Amino acid sequence: MIIDVIAGVAMVAGAALIALGSIGLLRFPDVLTRMHAATKAATVGVIGTTIAASVEASSLGGALALLVVVALLFLSGPLGMSLLARAAYHDPQTPLSPQTLDFPTDLPVDETTSTTRPAGTSRFLVVWLFIVWIAAFGSIAPNVLVGGVIAAVAITAVTRWLSLRWPRLFVHPIAAWRFVAYFVGQMFVSTWGVIAALWVPRDQVRPAIVAVPVQVSTRNEVALLMNSISFMPGTVALELHDDELFVHVLTTDEPADVLAEIGRLESKIMAAFGPKGQRLRESGSM
Amino acid sequence: MIVATSIAGVLLALAAVGAVTRVVLGPSVADRMVALDSLLFIGVGGLGVYIVATGDTTYVAVLVVAVLTAFISTVIVARYIEAETNR
C-alpha cells in the first residue's frame, strides 16, 4: 500500500520532470542549454518512472530488467550527450547563444591521446554480463543460469582475445558509498537549478564554458569524472585537453562556485577510486 | 492509482508535443537530435507508466533495445556532425 504510494509519487514526479524538460527544449536559447533541460532532466525523470514501474512490475525478471535499463541510462545517457555537445560546439553551423560566456578563447580540436595500461582483471565483466543475461531472460531457471555463465565467459574470452584493455579498477568501498551519496544529493540540487532556470527571462539565462583543472590521473577516474559531470543537469563535459576539462555550465552565478563544486566531486572520486598513493595524499590533506 | 497514471500520461503527452515542435523548428542537426532523444525518453517514460497501470512486463525488452538504440544513434549523429565540421 505504502509502496504503491511511493511508486505513484515517483511516477508523477518523473513525468513532471520530463514535461519540464520539454518546456526547456522550447524555451532555452541554444543547443547546449536545451540539452541540459531536455535530455538530462528527462534522464532523471525516466529513472523515476522506471523505478515506479519496477516496483509495480508483476514479475521479478521484469523488475530486474527495468533496473538494468536504469543502469544503462546512467552509463549511456551522459556519454552520448557529451559527444553530441562536443560535436555541436565545434560545428560552425550550429548556432550558439551569443550570451555564452566563453572563458577559453579558442577550444583546440583535440587529438585523442591514449595511454595503454596493464590489462586488469575481467571478473567484473563476467559478473555484469551474467546479471544482464538473467535480467534479459527474466527467470532463474537452471538452463538460463548455465547459458548465462557460458555466454558471459565466452564474451569475456573474446574481448581478451581481441586484447581490449580494461583499466585496473581501484575501489575504496566506504569512500565509494560516500561518493554515491554525494552524487545523488547533488543530482537533486542541480536538477532543481535547471528547473529554476526555466522561469527566468530568456535573456537572463547565462550559459558559460569554463576550463576546470583536473588532478585525477587514471583513465577510470577521468571517465567517471566526465560521466558524473555530464550526468548532472546543468553541466556537460565538452572535452579534456591537457590537464584541463572544458565544461559547459548553465546559469553560472560565479564561475568560481562551479569550479569549487567540480573540485569537490573530483576529490570524492579520487578518494573512492584513486590509486593508493593519491588516496593517502587525499586523506592526509583532509 | 488511476489518477496518478492519468496525470503522468497527460504530462508525457504534453512533453511529446513540445519535443516534436523542437524537431520541426530545428534549426540545426544537433538541436533535432536532442529533441528526438528526449522524444525517446518520453516513450520510455510512457512505457513505465503503462507498466505501472497494468503490471504487464511484456514490453520491457523493447525498453532495453530502445535505450541502447538511442545511445548508438546519438553517437552516430555526433560523429556525423564532427565529420562535417572537419571536412
Handedness of CA A48, B52, B39, B3 (dihedral sign): negative
pTM assigned to the model: 0.72
CB-based burial, B10-36: b 16+ in 10 Å, e otherwise: ebbebbbebbeebbeeeebbbbbbbbb
Structural contact between residues B58 and A62, judged by C-beta atoms closer than 8 angstroms: no
B56 contacts in chain A (CB < 8 Å): 58
> What is the C-alpha to C-alpha distance for residues A240 and A97, in angstroms, rounded to an integer?
22
Query: Is B41 close to A59, i.e. CB distance below 8 A?
Result: no
Q: What percent of chain A has pLDDT over 90?
A: 0
Q: CA of A35: which chain B residue's CA is closest?
A: B34
Higher pLDDT, B49 or A160: B49
Nearest-Cα distance to chain B for A275, in Å, is 31
Query: Is residue A33 a contact partner of residue A200, using CB atoms and an 8 Å limit?
Result: no
The 10s digit of each residue's pLDDT in B16-33 is 898 888 888 877 888 888
User: If pLDDT is split at 50, 70 and 90, which confidence band does A284 have?
Assistant: very low
CA angle A253, A257, A261 (to 5 degrees): 130
Task: Classify residue B87 by burial, with Cβ atoms within 10 Å: 0-12, 13-18, 19+.
Answer: exposed
- For every residue of chain A, DSSP letters joined together read -HHHHHHHHHHHHHHHHHHHHHHHHHHSSSHHHHHIIIIIIHHHHHHHHHHHHHHH-SSHHHHHHHHHHHHHHHHHHHHHHHHHHHHHHH-TTS---TT-EESSSSPPPPPPP---------HHHHHHHHHHHHHHHT---HHHHHHHHHHHHHHHHHHHHTTPPPPP----HHHHHHHHHHHHHHHHHHHHHHHHHTSS-GGG---EEEEEE----SHHHHHHHHHHHHHSTTEEEEEEETTEEEEEESS-S-HHHHHHHHHHHHHHHHHHHS-HHHHHHHHHH-
Q: How confident is the model at residue A106 (pLDDT cuts 50, 70, 90)?
A: very low
Highest averaged pLDDT of the listed ranges A87-91, A98-102, A215-219: A87-91
Query: Helix A60-90 vs helix B60-86: angle between axes, to the nearest 10 degrees?
Result: 10
Question: Between A and B, how many residue pairs show a Cβ–Cβ distance under 8 A?
Answer: 204
Nearest to A72 among B12, B45, B68 (CB): B68
User: Chain B: nearest CA to A3, how far in angstroms?
Assistant: 12
Q: What is the mean pLDDT of residues A66-93?
A: 77
Question: What's chain A's average pLDDT?
Answer: 72
Query: What is the DSSP-derived secondary structure letter of residue B28?
Result: S
Tell if the CB–CB gap between B85 and A92 is shorter than 8 Å.
Answer: yes
pLDDT over 70 (residue A168):
no
Residue A148 identity: G
On chain B, the residues whose CB falls within 8 A of the CB of A8 are 1, 4, 52
Interface test with B, best of A1, A17, A22, A83 (most B CBs within 10 A): A22
Q: Please give the pLDDT value at position A122.
A: 60
How much is the average pLDDT of A213-231? 73
Residue A22 predicted with pLDDT over 80: yes
CB atoms A68 and B56 under 8 Å: no
For residue A137, CA distances in Å to A47, A130, A140, A145, A146 come to: 21, 11, 8, 10, 12
Considering only residues 15 to 74 of chain B, which have any Cβ-Cβ distance to chain A shorter than 8 Å?
15-19, 21-22, 27-31, 33-35, 37-38, 41-42, 44-45, 47-49, 51-52, 55-57, 60-61, 63-64, 67-68, 70-71, 74
Which chain A residues touch B31 with a CB distance below 8 Å?
Answer: 31, 34, 94
Range from A40-44, A106-110, A137-141 that averages highest in pLDDT: A40-44
Q: How confident is the model at residue A282 (pLDDT cuts 50, 70, 90)?
A: very low
ipTM above 0.95, yes or no: no
Please state, in angstroms and as integers, the Cα–Cα distance from residue A103 to each residue in A3, A207, A248, A255, following that order. 48, 11, 10, 9
To the nearest whole Å, the CA of A56 is away from the closest chain B CA by 5
